[in-house]
Amino acid sequence: MARWNKSVLNPEQQRSLKLEVLYKVAAAAFRRNGYHGTSLIDIADILGVSKATLYYYVKNKQDLLFQCHLAAADQALETICTDPSLNGLERLRRSLVAYVISIIGEDSFSVVILEERSLSDEQLRVVIEKRDAFERRLQDVVRTGVTDGSILRCDPKFAVFSVLGAANWVTKWHRPEGAWTIDEIAQASAALLCRGLAAGPLPSYPSNRLYGDQQP
């Protein structure tokens, strides 16, 4: 990736395109080395730009992290499935598949694995509020499942914590060059986790060599 990775040539949205690339690169670097372990020079080098240039786009390093958090929160919210024709369990499964893909995919802004103490109090407040909103939406999906009988009776908050934990952790061990594709991982994770919450007879998931492949 060099020089903003030639992000097209629009006059007006140039800036927001560059910002998006910057956030993705920063998030990826933060994920790898941690917030404090990543210098702005690291990020500038990846973009083929000088450190001073970055300050034309972001207020400071802390704000850069904050922006990553905000972008990631929006990205996460989009993964929630609310299709009313599906039961709670299937909505949860689809949400998880989408979520895992979003956080380990090429376009991830995810910075959930980072220590949160790097943000200011006010920034942290906002981020936590947004994250809570996401988690509450997922909890609602679980509650729907409990009500419609597809999900076992449980504490939705705890269930979401567990399920998101396994999902978020994927960013720690997933290697793009590894044997498993992103889609495989997402499907298998969702299948395993949903099975842990499923109430009745388990729905049959698509065949997957990581999990859920029922043939001998």
**What one-letter code names the amino acid at 18?**
K
**Which residues 6+ apart lie within 8 Å of 131 measured at CB?**
73, 76, 112
Burial class of residue 90 in the structure, from the number of CB atoms within 10 Å of its CB (0-12 exposed, 13-18 middle, 19+ buried): middle
Q: Which of 25, 27, 28, 40 binds DNA (CB under 7 A)?
A: 40
Residue 70: closest CA among 20, 17, 104, 105 = 20
Q: Which of 51, 133, 158, 181 binds a copy of itself (CB under 8 A)?
A: 158
Owner of token pair 């786009």: 57
**Residue 51 binds which entry of a copy of itself, DNA, none, CB below 5-8 Å type-dependent:** DNA
Q: Is 136 in the site for a copy of itself (CB under 8 A)?
A: no
Q: Is 72 in the site for a copy of itself (CB under 8 A)?
A: no
Tell me the closest approach of the beta carbon of residue 14 to DNA, in angstroms: 5
How many angstroms separate the CA atoms of 213 and 216, rounded? 8
- Per-residue binding letters, 23-52, with a copy of itself (x by CB under 8 A): ---------xxxxxx---------------
Q: Is 29 in the site for DNA (CB under 7 A)?
A: no
**Residue 50 binds which entry of a copy of itself, DNA, none, CB below 5-8 Å type-dependent:** DNA
Q: Which of 167, 182, 187, 205 binds a copy of itself (CB under 8 A)?
A: 167
Angle between helices 88-104 and 182-197 (to 10 degrees): 150
**Residue 19 binds which entry of a copy of itself, DNA, none, CB below 5-8 Å type-dependent:** none
126-165: buried (b, 16+ CB within 10 Å) or exposed (e) per residue? ebeebbeebbebbbbbbebbbeeebbeebebeebbeebbe
CA quadruple 35, 36, 38, 41: dihedral positive or negative? positive
Q: Of 8-16, 69-77, 87-95, 107-115, which segment contacts a copy of itself by CB under 8 A?
A: 107-115
User: Under a CB-based contact definition with an 8 Å cutoff, are residues 81 and 98 in contact?
Assistant: yes
Contacts with DNA, residue ranges (CB under 7 A): 4, 9, 11, 14-15, 18, 38-41, 49-53, 55-57, 60-62
Contacts with a copy of itself, residue ranges (CB under 8 A): 32-37, 113-115, 117-118, 152-155, 158-159, 161-170, 172-173, 180, 185, 188-189, 192-197, 209-214, 216
